[in-house]
């Protein structure tokens, strides 16, 4: 176990600053930190600083997410370009990612980009019981008079909706 001294804290903060700036390849207005897929950073080794062994843990938004290989490569590229050559990036599936891990800033970035962010919690857990869809707010006019067009939007983690007030289509980042 490495003692938590100032050098380790500074190195950890520097690495986190690098990682927290990496954009999501599918939704570039979000970072991997905004999405909550950056789960852990572990520094190992007797020689701290640039020679530390870095272990980064990420969790995909869903197990088949095609962006994870690109995110893993981007993490390694960014660390190498900042002088941290000895990095291991591990994908961890458990616990499963949830939209609760997204930052509030990330949800606001989604809305500003025109994608409805996930609701804080499912309004209707089992739609078959109630014969109604969850109310999704339009990111453009903020109305709730919306209709589901398709369970899948521009990526599998989003659904396609249309606002019945402003008549604009929009993606909704599904709750998980």
What residue ranges define each of the domains in the chain, with the CATH number in brackets? Answer: 6-97 (3.30.300.130), 103-173 (no CATH)
CA nearest to 117, candidates 99, 98, 134: 99
* Each residue's pLDDT tens digit, 113-166: 999 999 876 555 555 555 456 789 999 999 999 999 999 888 888 999 999 999
CA dist., res. 87 & res. 153, Å (int): 34
Q: Cβ(84)–Cβ(56) under 8 Å?
A: no
| Predicted model pTM | 0.79
């Amino acid at each position: 176990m490495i003692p938590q001294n100032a050098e380790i804290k500074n190195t950890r903060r520097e690495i986190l600053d690098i990682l927290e700036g990496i954009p999501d390849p599918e939704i570039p207005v979000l970072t991997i930190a905004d999405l909550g897929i950056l789960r852990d950073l572990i520094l190992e080794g007797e020689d701290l600083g640039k020679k530390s062994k870095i272990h980064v843990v990420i969790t995909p938004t869903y197990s088949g997410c095609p962006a994870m290989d690109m995110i893993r490569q981007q993490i390694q590229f960014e660390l190498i370009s900042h002088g941290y050559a000895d990095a291991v990036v591990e994908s961890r599936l458990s616990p499963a990612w949830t939209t609760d891990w997204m930052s509030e800033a990330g949800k606001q970035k989604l809305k500003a980009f025109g994608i409805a962010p996930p609701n804080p919690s499912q309004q209707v857990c089992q739609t078959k019981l109630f014969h109604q869809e969850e109310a999704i707010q339009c990111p453009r006019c903020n109305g709730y008079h919306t209709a589901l067009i398709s369970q899948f939007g521009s990526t599998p983690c989003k659904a396609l909706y249309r606002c019945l007030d402003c008549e604009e289509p929009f993606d909704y980042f599904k709750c998980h």
